[in-house]
Structure 1
Amino acid sequence: MFIVSLRYVVPVEQVEPHMEGHMAWLDENYEKGMFVASGRKVPRTGGIILARGDRSELEACVAQDPFVINGVAEAEITECAVSRTAPGLDRLME
């Protein structure tokens, strides 16, 4: 399991023009099964994505995020070995 932490490096007003492309990128990677959850940080300084799969594939994927391509956000990828979940979230340990 991986935690992708996106951090905006510009004011949110400069992020907004890239939101549609970012959302399409998210949809594509949910369909591929790479992403399992995502959402905005509170306060709105970026976002978090829970992902699974191969690290090198994830790194290549994140490099294609319109936020990253357009320099409005930086991404940090943290790997974690999920060993316990709440009932119904067993899939996170795959």
Structure 2
Amino acid sequence: MYVVLLTYTAPLQEIDYTLPDHAEWLARQYEHNYLLTSGRRDMHLGEVMLVRQMPRLKLDAILASDPLAIHHLAHYEVVEFSATRTAPEMRSLNEALAR
């Protein structure tokens, strides 16, 4: 799994202009079943996304297709991790427990 920390690198006016396209991009990622959850960070610093396990190069390509990335309005920090414990509500999402 991955945690993606998206940090805005442009003024909020520019970000706000691109957010409708970004929202459509997010919807497509959910349709493809790549994202588990996403949401805004406090103080409108950016966003956090929890992404299913996939090859890292595939994730990089997906993130590069985000309108915020295309317009150079955000920086993405990707943290890969293997969940070793999971709340009961999320156990079906934990690939390590599903094996």
TM range (shorter): over 0.9
Aligned alpha-carbon RMSD (Å): 0.9
Larger radius of gyration: 2
Q: Which residue of 2 aligns with 1:68?
A: 69
What secondary structure does 2:65 align onto? Answer: coil
4+ aligned runs moved over 6 Å, structure 1? none
TM-score by length of 2: 0.90
**Identity across matched positions, percent:** 34
Q: Which residue of 2 aligns with 1:51?
A: 51
Q: Which residue of 1 aligns with 2:8?
A: 8
Structure 2 unaligned blocks of 5 or more: none
Quick check: 1:3–1:50 contact (8 Å CA) kept in 2? yes
Q: C-alpha offsets along residues 49-71 of structure 1, whole Å, 9 cap, x if unaligned?
A: 10012211111000010001101
Number of corresponding residues: 94
Distance 2:92 2:28 in 1: 20
Q: Which residue of 2 aligns with 1:82?
A: 83
Equivalent residues in 2 for 1:25-44, closer than 5 Å? 25-44=25-44
Q: Higher helix share goes to which structure?
A: 2
